[in-house]
Amino acid sequence: MKTRAAVLRDVGQPFEITELELDEPKAGEVLIRFVAAGLCHSDEHLRHGDIVPRFPIVGGHEGAGIIERVGPGVTRLQPGDHVICSFLPVCGHCRWCSTGKSNLCDMGATILDGMLADGTYRFHDEQGTDYGGMCMLGTFSERAVISENSAVKVDPDLPLDKVVLIGCGVPTGWGSAVHAAATEAGDTIVIYGIGGIGINSVQGAALAGARNVVAVDPLPNKREAAEQLGATHSCETAEEAHELIQELTRGVGADKAIITVGVVDAKVVGDAVNTIRKGGVAVITGLADPTKTNIELNSAMLTLFEKTVKGSLFGSGDPFHDIPKMVELYQSGDLKLDELITQTYTLDQVNQGYQDLVDGKNIRGVVLFDTPPLEGAPA
């Protein structure tokens, strides 16, 4: 079967929209027709070279769609099911899955190569070259074959073009505040960088009962969005935020800091660690080049003030638990999704979408597909 997809062939190259051959689903796999795909910063990291995957790769790791076929042995899904893709697969029985840390599932080891669990690829071109799917998904494609471990079934009345954000950005940001930072009622939380992740850290911190939610971003549209979604204060610079938090906390400092900037560097981590209180926590959610050393901290300050610096992947939650929970929070009005979507694009406009993201125009951009269903498959 053919599918049109946006692929990356090398560092620094734009997405190329091309037609690929897509295999049938093998054991434990499903064929999904994507309805929507979110433009998340991580794909831009691959394109830009901050993080280098195996090329060529079909972009996109935030997706929602409808299952059209299932391979042998698939028990959790059937054709016609509506699903949100989890950008990390969850096998359910590795050490991490069986101890409530399924965001660290061992199956996630190959998400940057993008082959499926059996080590083979489902996307190919005419020359027979294998294409990976970003995060074992490749949601910038009309269709894909993915592991059933990557798809969380949801009610069919949900708007997939909105809940698609629950595939990566929303739980990552929300969980950074709720799980990783463990925001408690009355906390003062500072969030550096209000993009697709940071805005959801704002929502999470506000919902968890933070007294002060301080959003830091140089762009006024981002600060406005943060205030609309629950930030109590917003600052243009880290210095301004530091001073404000000193005032707000009578010199104690923020309880927790969450770093969700585009590329994490020494300055922002230093700012965060300086701004948190004794015994406070700085959560690093933003990415950076995994092959380089990029931060430097004074260890005595960590020792003497018992500060913690920790990383957080996928909001440190369990995708098969957190994704349905966030759907319900969306329905109860506690989690805003519609308000996050600044702009929608077609598959052909993916590069434009990422230009808008880099230019700071979007809180979130979403690609919408209108691929007709396969003949005989449920609509």
Partner 1 sequence: MTAGTQPHPVIGLRREREVLTVALRTNRHVVLEGPPGTGKSTLLRAIAADVGQEVVFVEGNAELTPARLIGQYDPAAVLAGGYVPESFTDGPLLTAMRGSGLLYLEELNRIPEETLNVLITVLTEGEITVPRLGHVRAAAGFRLIAAMNPFDAIGTARVGQAIADRMCRVVLGYQDAAGERSITGAVTGAPADLTALAVRLVRATREHRDVRMGSSVRGAIDLVLLLGGLLEMRGLTGLADDGARETTRDAAYAALSGRIRIADGVERTAEAVIDDLLAEIWPEGGPPPAEEPPPGDGGEPGKAEGPPAADQQAGPESASSLRRDRRSGGARRQTGRREMAARHESFDEVSPEVGEFDEEAFSALMAQDADAAAALLTDLALATDRELRAAAQRVAARVFVQVGRVGRTRTRGTRRLVADRRGDGDLDLDRTLDRWDPGRALAPEDLVTRTWTGARRAVCLAVDTSGSMTGLGVAIAAVAAAGVVLTADERLQTSVLTFGAQVDVVQRHGQRRAPEDLVQHLVTLRGHGMTDLAAALRAVRGQLLPAVADERVAVLLSDCLHTTGDPPETALGGIDRLHVLCPLPTPEAEEAARALAARGGGTAEMVRSIRDLGPALTRLLG
Query: What DSSP line would sit under 3-52, residue for residue?
Result: EEEEEE-STTPPPEEEEEEEPPP-TTEEEEEEEEEEE-HHHHHHHHTSS-
Q: Choose between 140 and 330: whose C-beta lies nearer to partner 1.
A: 330
Residues in CB range of 352: below 8 A, 6 or more apart: 345
Minimum distance of partner 1 from residue 313's CB (angstroms): 29
Chain residues in the site for partner 1 (CB under 8 A): 155-159, 330-334, 339
Minimum distance of partner 1 from residue 331's CB (angstroms): 4
Minimum distance of partner 1 from residue 341's CB (angstroms): 14
Q: Name residue 104's amino acid.
A: L
Catalytic residue from among 41, 61, 233, 242: 61
Residue located via tokens 């960590």: 302
Rg (CA), the chain: 20
Is 48 catalytic? The answer is: no
Q: Choose between 126 and 157: whose C-beta lies nearer to partner 1.
A: 157
Catalytic residue from among 41, 42, 147, 201: 42
Is 316 catalytic? The answer is: no
Bond preceding residue 56 cis, omega within 30 of 0:
yes
Minimum distance of partner 1 from residue 155's CB (angstroms): 6
DSSP β-bridge partners for residue 80 = none
For residue 374, give the DSSP letter.
P
Nearest by Cα to 176 from 322, 54, 43, 302: 322
Is 168 catalytic? The answer is: yes
Minimum distance of partner 1 from residue 158's CB (angstroms): 6
Lateral strand order in the sheet of 308-311: 233-235, 212-216, 188-192, 254-259, 276-284, 308-311
Write out the catalytic residue numbers.
40, 42, 45, 61, 168
